[in-house]
Amino acid sequence: MGTDLIFRIVLIVIIFLISLVVAMYSTYAERKIAAFFQDRIGPNRAGPWGILQPLADGGKMFLKEEIIPTNATPFLFIVGPCLAILTACIGSAVIPWGQKMVVGGHTIDLQVTDINVGVLYIFGVVSLGVYGVMIGGWASNNKYSLLGAIRAASQNISYEISMGLSIIALLMLTGTLSLKEIAEQQHGANWNVIRQPLGFILFIVCAFAETNRTPFDLPECETELVGGYHTEYSSMKLGFYLFAEYINMFISSAVMATLYWGGYNYPGMDWVTAHVGPAIGPLIGTVVLFAKIFLFIFFFMWVRWTIPRFRYDQLMDLGWKILIPLAIGNIVLTGVVSTALKHFGF
């Protein structure tokens, strides 16, 4: 029990550090990738190829003046960004980062906690995430911030419905809400995306909306709302909001990879594990999972620098009139096909 607890704590610290580092370098990657998409070079002054740029940005954020507007509610103004980054960080707790690792007789579970309602937990955390934006926008006492916050709330609530419906079809196939079991079911190349392509497309569209990324970045739409919900924020409080967005992107990429793209599974994993031993084998799986996550993060950025923002009524149309009916249709289709396959004995 004692060693198990220590392993858990070490794992929590490692995952926390990894998500912070990934978020930090996502900001760098975003600027670099944006530059490449626009035939530019991107940041290249801080360190070789500009790899120290995130540190310089962080230093700038810390040293800037901390402004709390006179008419803002000070307590809520500070709670907003803290809540945003807290909810972004706790989502990683239920994600299975790899198979069980056996080192010197000890079995190490590469997952912080395996709760049997992991998918629900993720949904709960995602819904809490909007409170950070809401509270911050409300406490700023600024009409642009308030409009941004309201947009964020209505957008997240609308897209949570279709996200939940798109995942129900997946849960009908897996029969479990535990992310660990879902990952184990996709052993080898038996990935869920093969059985749920429409569900995956719906889920990824909703994931874009939930993380407030382009083309759904209306809460911080600069052309209409100055800076959106963080108009009044400066210094590290602004940094927290921006950071929370990148951590959210990392976590939602991990969730997508786990639910639909096989998590840490890859074709030929049994052969590899048999050859390199039970200590190294699961780590290769973890590397594969991270490769998938980075591909998804790249996709997030790729879409951002390709597609312009939706108009607000188009956003609501897409959410309520297209995605929800499609998701319900997907549930019906999944039910009919899986029952038919069972009936005819496949």
Partner 1 sequence: MESLSNKKKVLEVKPLNLMERAYLPAIIGGLATTMKHFFKKPVTISYPEEKREFSENFRGMHSLKRDENGKERCTACGLCALSCPAEAITMTAAERQKGEEHLYREEKYAAVYEINMLRCIFCGLCEEACPKEAIYLDGDIVPADYLRKDFIYGKDKLVEAPLNQ
List interacting residues with partner 1 (CB under 8 A).
33, 35-41, 44, 201, 302-303, 305-307
Residue (190 or 314) nearer to partner 1, CB:
314
Residue (44 or 71) nearer to partner 1, CB:
44
Q: How far is CA 59 from CA 31, 52, 247, in A?
A: 17, 11, 19
Helix (H) or strand (E) holding 103: strand 101-103
Helix (H/G/I), strand (E/B), else coil: 213: coil
Q: Which positions ≥6 away from 264 have C-beta within 8 Å? A: 96, 97, 98, 99, 183, 282, 285, 286, 288, 289
Q: Based on the number of CB atoms within 10 Å of its own CB, is 48 exposed (0-12), middle (13-18) or buried (19 or more)?
A: exposed
Residue (50 or 148) nearer to partner 1, CB:
50
Nearest residue to 150 via CA among 163, 138, 142, 162: 138
What token pair was written down for 126? Answer: 């995602």
To the nearest whole angstrom, how small is the minimum distance from the Cβ of residue 249 to partner 1?
18
Helix (H/G/I), strand (E/B), else coil: 309: coil
Residue (149 or 202) nearer to partner 1, CB:
202
Task: Dihedral sign for Cα 196, 200, 203, 205, please.
Answer: negative
To the nearest whole angstrom, how small is the minimum distance from the Cβ of residue 233 to partner 1?
30
To the nearest whole angstrom, how small is the minimum distance from the Cβ of residue 312 to partner 1?
17
To the nearest whole angstrom, how small is the minimum distance from the Cβ of residue 326 to partner 1?
11
Residue (74 or 197) nearer to partner 1, CB:
197
To the nearest whole angstrom, how small is the minimum distance from the Cβ of residue 205 to partner 1?
9
